Amino acid sequence: MDVLHTSVMGDEVLRYLAPENEQGELLIDATLGEGGHSELFLKQHPGLGVIGLDADGVILERARERLAPFGGRVKLEQAWFDEYLANYSEDERPTRVLFDLGISIFHYRASGRGFSFSVDEPLDMRLSPSAEMSAAEFIASAPESRLAEVFFLYGEERFSRRFARAIVGRRVERPISTAKDLADIIWSASPAQYRHGRLHPATRSFQALRILVNSELERLPKALQHACRVLAIGGRIGVISFHSLEDRIVKHFFREISKACICPPELPICKCGGTARFEVLTKKPVYPSDEESRDNPPSRSARLRVIRKLAEPIGQAEVTSA
């Protein structure tokens, strides 16, 4: 099988999430993709089992082929990670959970769903058919103010209003149905100096649409909450994020859950016992090496944060999103 995606920060992930025992431990790879990180773990730790999750059934089959040599050590599930972890009922609790929040190169190059502004494909952007609305449907129906809001909040696009106005003006004339249609509109609406920067003018808007269509920022806090609940004591959770919106959620979640006292501020005295039940192992995010950043450009924006579970939470209220 030709692998399109190179998993980022493999050395760092292995170092921080390496199993403590060579037998009987379980890793949940919550964002399996083409299976790169799982393959690294399975090769280096022969006693480790892996549950691999992905919402995209097509890429899941690519991972199945790649991980076939490891036989019964691997179980693959097509599922959104927040939903799977919310309903996790296996007898064996995971000792490691990994989230790689980046989108696979497969989706840009081979999915045919319009993730890339550089190809002429249907403007879909759904990672799973279960997602309710495609990017084209949103572009066709959203009011101008909502378009601008999404581009600004999810893409941090400073020309969000300009692009939203151009989209609404164009869709009156004809449907915007392909990625190239949308990219051309954004390009034409961009100031001249914006067209020749480090990023294509459509980069942030396409990111915003993908995040919206797949509910990425809504799913992440819930997934972290459920991962902390099902994780075995002593276990670790690692999260690789690629933009500030994701990283901010992870940073704040880890900070809050690792506090010694997590009682509501209105309580006059501590009721939770005042004992930290999680420990942040990366006080600052871990970044890829200079060599990896040079050899694998998509890794440049990656950052890894890791937390360890010290004890069971007293109650579900302790595991809250930021």
Average pLDDT, integer, range 91-99: 95
| Percent of the chain whose pLDDT exceeds 70 | 94
Strand ranges of the sheet holding 96-100, from the earlier edge strand across to the other edge: 74-78, 49-54, 26-29, 96-100, 236-241, 303-309, 278-280
Q: Is residue 150 part of a domain?
A: yes
What is the Cα–Cα distance from 94 to 270, expressed in whole angstroms? 30
- Residues 167, 241 within the same domain: no
Look at residue 197 and tell me whether its pLDDT is greater than 90. no
pLDDT tens digits, 302-315: 999 999 999 987 65
Task: Check whether residue 204 and residue 185 sit in a common domain.
Answer: yes
Residues 197 and 256 in one domain: no
What are the tokens at 216?
């990425």
Q: How many domains does the chain have?
A: 2
Give a yes or no: residue 5 inside a domain: no
Which amino acid makes up residue 306?
A: V
Residues 199 and 237 in one domain: no
Determine the Cα–Cα distance for residues 147 and 134; give it in Å rounded to an integer.
14
Give the mean pLDDT of 9-25.
91
Q: Are residues 242 and 205 in the same domain?
A: no
pLDDT of residue 3: 56
Residue 309: the pLDDT is: 97
For residue 22, give the CATH number of its domain: 3.40.50.150
- Among residues 213, 232, 248, which one ends one of the domains? 213
Range of the structural domain that residue 182 is part of: 132-213
Q: What is the mean pLDDT of residues 106-121?
A: 90
179/231 same-domain check = no
Clarify whether residues 197 and 223 are in a common domain. no
Q: Evaluate if residue 220 carries a pLDDT over 80.
A: yes
- Tell me what pLDDT residue 2 has: 64
Quick: pLDDT tens for 50-86. 999 999 999 999 999 999 999 999 999 999 999 999 9
Q: Up-side HSE of residue 72: CA atoms within 13 Å toward CB?
A: 1
Closest CA to 157 of 217, 197, 127, 100: 197
The CA distances from residue 73 to 66, 68, 76, 161, in Å, are 13, 9, 10, 50
Distance CA 218, CA 241 (A): 15
